[in-house]
Structure 1
């Protein structure tokens, strides 16, 4: 299962970022900045919801074929075929520019390699957690913990009950804040969960 996870998307690259920064800190080459690591993770968890709801579920932005292909690859096709692993993970061409942008902004505030790298390691670790939770939600595997089983079910409601609800993949916090949470028994079933903006 772990080997399958590492084969896809940017997971191996993200893992290497986390390991390299951890090695630099452990060796004493860079100082430890746990608050920057946590801030990096928090930045991702905020963007997880906002990207998913407002960018990945956005109507087609243009009639330009290339842009439409990007939108389909980033998310529309994942809803069409939710169990295809090659459509599940964030592609490297999406993750790397976002990490570079985050790193550039961080450099303007904390202009040291150790600070920026620690923040990016936190972001990378959070993306890896997101990718793992998302992976487990879409494969025939029963998570061992009650939280794991619940969050898997939570994400699958988004895919198979109503794509306008339950945008959080790793946690429901922003769904509560942004009013996109509804009790599953009270939510109406959508006919377009597999067909975003066709």
Structure 2
């Protein structure tokens, strides 16, 4: 007797269903449902609430934290110009982290039950429902967890006085990233850089999900050869 492939019931909470898809999970997650109405992920109301974040929470939470880290560097003897340079360096570091996290973590291949489940919570739900405005930016708790190894690496690889400012720059880069990401999905740019970035990002969602991993910039995609040719072709027409 041949077992029938598992089918996800979109009318029920999704998180503990998607793991049963096994090897079919990746294909399912990358077939987007274009609706501003997001799915229910958990049956538990508190867990469900924790998956939803309005975009303005990101700058509200993280900009004061960024300012605190930069202030720490100033208090430890860094000059204003040195701190500004460290912040710019942190923003640049973030652009590489943004690319690497998106390409290697958010788009990792999973087939196991828990692998699929974790990936769906991390990024798969965004690809399945790309217009869900309450699941476009990272909940502060999730961002805090991801920030711990980043802070640790910066602290170990730089001086005590510059590390906070560099990390503050990374946090500023992250805020720009998440706010930009929200705008690229729900904003309506008519021309210029924002329109190009929107075209570039939506190509990642609706044309080739294995290319175009940058959000705020296509720089690292060009460096590492993952810039989508479909976008380049569209610009030359």
Using structure 1 for the length normalisation, give the TM-score: 0.77
Matched, 1:43 2:93: yes
The answer to whether the 8 A contact 2:184-2:198 is kept is yes
- Change in Cα spacing, 1:111 to 1:74, as seen in structure 2 (3 Å) is same
The answer to whether the 8 A contact 2:208-2:228 is kept is no
Distance across 2 between alignment mates of 1:162 and 1:128:
26
Cα deviation per residue 1:152-185 (whole Å; 9 max; x = unaligned)?
1110111111111211111111211222123326
The answer to whether the 8 A contact 2:137-2:179 is kept is no
Q: 1:138 aligns with which of 165, 174, 185?
A: 185
Please name the residue that 1:181 is paired with.
227
- RMSD over aligned Cα, in angstroms? 2.5
**Matches of residues 4-153 of structure 1 in structure 2 within 5 Å?**
4-7=54-57, 10-21=58-69, 29-30=75-76, 31=78, 32=80, 33-60=83-110, 62-64=112-114, 67-112=115-160, 114-139=161-186, 141-143=187-189, 146-153=192-199
Structure 1: stretches of 5+ with no match in the other structure: 188-198
Please name the residue that 2:209 is paired with.
163
**How far has the Cα of 1:24 moved from its partner?**
5.7
Distance across 2 between alignment mates of 1:17 and 1:61:
37
Structure 2: stretches of 5+ with no match in the other structure: 1-53
Greater Cα radius of gyration, structure 1 or 2? 2
Moved over 3 A (4+): 21-25
Using structure 2 for the length normalisation, give the TM-score: 0.65
**How far has the Cα of 1:29 moved from its partner?**
3.2
